[in-house]
Amino acid sequence: MKLLRTGFLLILLSVLLVMVGGAIGGRNGLQIALALAVFMNGIAYFFSDKIALSSSHAQWVSREQVPRLYDVMGRLAAKANLPMPKLYLIPEAAPNAFATGRNPHHASVAVTQGLLELMNDDELEGVIAHELSHVRNYDILTSSVAATIAGAITYVAEMGKWGMIFGGYSRDDDERQGGGLLAILMIFLAPLAAMMLQLFLSRTREYSADETGARMVGQPYGLISALQKLGTYNQQIPTTAVSPSTSALCIVKPLFGGGALSNWFSTHPPLKDRIAALQTMTVIPHR
């Protein structure tokens, strides 16, 4: 059911991209939008992990440097029948972690120094299981595809907006009849719709990773305690290393500020809702 929901959201984003391209530029606009989406998806597929790691100043670490992290990761990766990801450390006091990479054979997991210092063994296991769940479920690839399609929609809409402002937007009269209003609506509403679909998809994958991670460990209590601790410390310690563009990958949203409407435009569900969902789980064997 969750896989079908994810596929449906990606299809909706793709359809929206086609509609924007067609409404703004007709057949040519549609072709440009599709070509742009393919190009951007290719960039995301091959380079999104390198961009995320570089932008967060993550440094590769050996087993000798962080034996505790390697032990937890190795045990859980073997349990989930996954290859051992590359491990990175971020010189950051705020506790957090993220996984990146296009598939399980090209996956990396980065944790902050603050996370290693603040988490006990059960909590660290819960965090790592959550990140491995993203790897196992191909969430990084899914999120990258959604982000690039949404970005293509925004880019095409911006092209249409500037084209209309400077008089470069032109279509035949028979095509413009009844289509001008649709084009204007697409230019202003499509990027918002794309963003909301992308954010909904991101929040859905966080719930799924929480559940899969708890099943991987065999119980949800370590992850529950970790999320409670992460929520407390990330409200007190602003992030200095993780960039806003990478924050969507993190297990919890870093402190960048926020307001009353922040939950509507957040890549993460509210922590209290994630914790409540985990508290309804019993001890369930990994499957």
Q: Residue 173 has what pLDDT?
A: 44
Q: Which are the contacts of 59, defined by CB distance < 8 A and separation ≥ 6?
A: 88, 89, 90, 91
Write the DSSP symbol of residue 237.
S
- Do the domain assignments include residue 286? no
The pLDDT tens digits for 189-209 are 666 777 777 777 788 889 999
**Where residue 138 falls among pLDDT bands split at 50, 70, 90?**
confident
Q: What is the mean pLDDT of residues 122-148?
A: 86
Q: How many CB atoms lie within 10 A of CB 68?
A: 12
- Do the domain assignments include residue 198? yes
- Do the domain assignments include residue 287? no
Q: Residue 124 has what pLDDT?
A: 98
Axis crossing angle, helix 121-136 with helix 139-165, rounded to the nearest 10: 60
Strand partners, 97: 111
- Do the domain assignments include residue 284? no
**HEC sequence for 65-106:** CCHHHHHHHHHHHHHCCCCCCEEEEECCCCCCEEEECCCHHH
Distance (Å, rounded) from C-alpha 146 to C-alpha 201?
8
Q: What is the mean pLDDT of residues 244-271?
A: 72
Q: Which residue would you say has higher pLDDT here, 40 or 7?
A: 40
State the residue for tokens 């679909």: 197
Q: What is the residue range of 203's domain?
A: 2-279
- Do the domain assignments include residue 15? yes
Q: What is the number of structural domains in the chain?
A: 1
Q: Residue 9 has what pLDDT?
A: 59
Residue-averaged pLDDT of the chain: 79
- Do the domain assignments include residue 220? yes
Residue 177 has pLDDT above 50, yes or no: no
Q: What is the mean pLDDT of residues 51-56?
A: 88
- Do the domain assignments include residue 285? no
Q: Residue 42 has what pLDDT?
A: 74
- In 3D space, the residue among 99, 141, 134 whose CA is nearest the CA of residue 7 turns out to be 141
Q: Residue 233 has what pLDDT?
A: 92
Is residue 60 a contact partner of residue 87, using CB atoms and an 8 Å limit? yes
Q: What is the mean pLDDT of residues 162-188?
A: 55
Q: Residue 186 has what pLDDT?
A: 65
In 3-state terms, what secondary structure has residue 44?
A: helix
State the residue for tokens 């609506």: 185
- Do the domain assignments include residue 260? yes
**Where residue 267 falls among pLDDT bands split at 50, 70, 90?**
confident
> Hey, which residues are catalytic here?
131
Q: Which residue would you say has higher pLDDT here, 92 or 40?
A: 92
**Where residue 225 falls among pLDDT bands split at 50, 70, 90?**
very high
Distance (Å, rounded) from C-alpha 287 to C-alpha 276?
22
Burial class (CB in 10 A: 0-12, 13-18, 19+), 167: exposed
Q: How many CB atoms lie within 10 A of CB 175?
A: 12
Residue 66 has pLDDT above 90, yes or no: yes
Q: What is the mean pLDDT of residues 68-75?
A: 97
Q: Residue 70 has what pLDDT?
A: 98
Is residue 286 a contact partner of residue 218, using CB atoms and an 8 Å limit? yes
